[in-house]
Amino acid sequence: MGRNDIIQVEEKSFEPLTLIMDVLRSWWVILLGALGAAMLTAVIFSFRYEPVYSTSATFVVTMKNNANAGNVWSKAYEMAETMKLILESSSMNRIICEELDVDYVDAKITTETLGSTNLLTLKVTADTSKEAMDVIRVVMNNYDKVSFYTTGITAMEVLEQPTVPTAPSNSNDVKRPALKAFLAAGAALTFLFGLFSYLNDTIKMESDVEKKLDASCLGQIPFERKNKTAREWFRRNKKALLINNPVTGFAFVEAYRKLAVKVDHRMKKHGLKALVVTSVAENEGKSTMAANLAIALAGQSRRVILIEGDLRRPAQFLLFDKMPTEKQEIGEFLKENSELKDIMIKSEVPNLYVILGRNCYASSTEMVQGARMEELLEQCQKAADYVIIDSPPIGLIGDAEVLARKAGAVLVVSKQNYLRAEDINDALDGFRARKAVVLGVVLNHVRTFAGVVDGGTYGKYGKYAGVYGDKGNR
């Protein structure tokens, strides 16, 4: 059984928050789908709508020849029942057809008594106002002829004449069915997107790394919000999310401390000192991961050099808020325009040096493949305990694989619920094919339903107070 077969037979992991987030990200599709269903329903009901017009007359049931009227209301009820039979009779139907000169009567004729009274109503409903009036007038003019032998001692007097209907009696109310269609479509689309999220073969939980990937899990980094206040959010502050920042959350810092311990252990186990930090795609947090891992290792009294290996979209100079001069550019060193002493910059974090760059180089692959990069890594490994290299994503260019082969080890950053497990495994196979040690995978930007309910893991313990940065200030 192959790797893909193993993945397919495993149980699907379930993290409620990732499912909810996937559905919320598709809110506009759900809304448009629900609105489309409502509009379509309104159009269908409008096309199917056929207006009808109703008119009615009210009669008083009385007794003929001053007969006993003590139970006239029961006589009214009997009269209504009798009248129904009369109106449905072939005789009345024939009279209506003859007087209106039609082949059949296309109208609905009903009668009913008004509660426990001697009042009776005659109602006619037809497709047009004229038809309704014509039919009710024929019925009222010819009723006595048909009912002469059936009504006995009772008689009917008109109390209220019929009026010409000016508006349909059945309203074209499309709001209710449109609303039902909107809610039904919204619920159906929400369910479908939730189902797709559940079936989507991404890495949603830390346990998924071990189950679905050909690599061990080095841990997970919880999601940490950059802008923690409304004021910061409105200002869109682009500050770095580093663990030596005093306001950084405890859980975030503690996760990197644990990661540094595991990296230190595994690097020693393999006898390696240089580590490439990369991701399969963009926006997975690999640059922040590389910077914080370097800070965490330096906080454990390790001499660390952090190298900007992404020569196309450098980011470390922004994270550390340092603007290297032209001579301090790593690209200039690789082009043999400067020396190692020129590009080595001491950071504010004790035991941590950084080699930065802010220029973009289209020929980055050729530059990292050259002997100058091997010389840089060799000298850095002699001068430090660990060399952390921030490389471009694997899926964009081949720089990460080249750097991993030269460094010897690679750590892959995977954003929660972002990429398919198959794509990540293909990248891991690419590193192993170039004889690089895959140190493991770190699940990044992790949010869990339990964490949201509890207000964030370790939230009640407050902030970590920038433990690594504080050491440098003492």
What percent of the chain clears pLDDT 70, i.e. is strictly above it?
83
Rounded to the nearest integer, the mean pLDDT of the chain is: 84
Q: What is the pTM of this model?
A: 0.72
Task: Summarize pLDDT for 145-186 with one digit per residue, the tens.
Answer: 766 555 555 667 888 999 999 999 888 888 899 999 999 999
Token readout for 231 is 């004021």
Say what the pLDDT of residue 92 is: 83
Within 8 A by CB and 6+ apart from 171, the residues are: none
pLDDT at 372 over 70: yes
- Segment among 22-26, 143-147, 355-359, 452-456 with least mean pLDDT: 452-456
Q: Is the separation of the CB atoms in 238 and 462 below 8 Å?
A: no
Say what the pLDDT of residue 459 is: 41
Say what the pLDDT of residue 16 is: 82
Task: Summarize pLDDT for 349-362 with one digit per residue, the tens.
Answer: 999 999 999 999 88
Cα–Cα distances in angstroms (integers) from residue 187 to residues 181, 183, 321, in the given order:
10, 6, 47
Rounded distance between C-alpha atoms, residue 395 and residue 383, angstroms: 32
Sheet bearing 409-415, strands edge to edge: 217-222, 437-446, 409-415, 274-279, 386-390, 304-308, 352-355, 345-346
Q: Is the separation of the CB atoms in 220 and 206 below 8 Å?
A: yes
Model confidence band, residue 199 (pLDDT cutoffs 50, 70, 90): confident
Of 300, 294, 323, residue with least CA distance to 390: 294
Rounded distance between C-alpha atoms, residue 306 and residue 461, angstroms: 31
Q: Kindly state the helix (H) or strand (E) to which residue 111 belongs, with its residue range.
A: strand 107-113
Rounded distance between C-alpha atoms, residue 317 and residue 406, angstroms: 23
Rounded distance between C-alpha atoms, residue 288 and residue 238, angstroms: 13
- Segment among 92-106, 122-136, 138-152, 353-367 with least mean pLDDT: 138-152
Q: Is the separation of the CB atoms in 434 and 300 below 8 Å?
A: no
- Segment among 161-165, 244-248, 276-280, 304-308 with least mean pLDDT: 244-248
Q: Greater confidence, 455 or 174?
A: 174
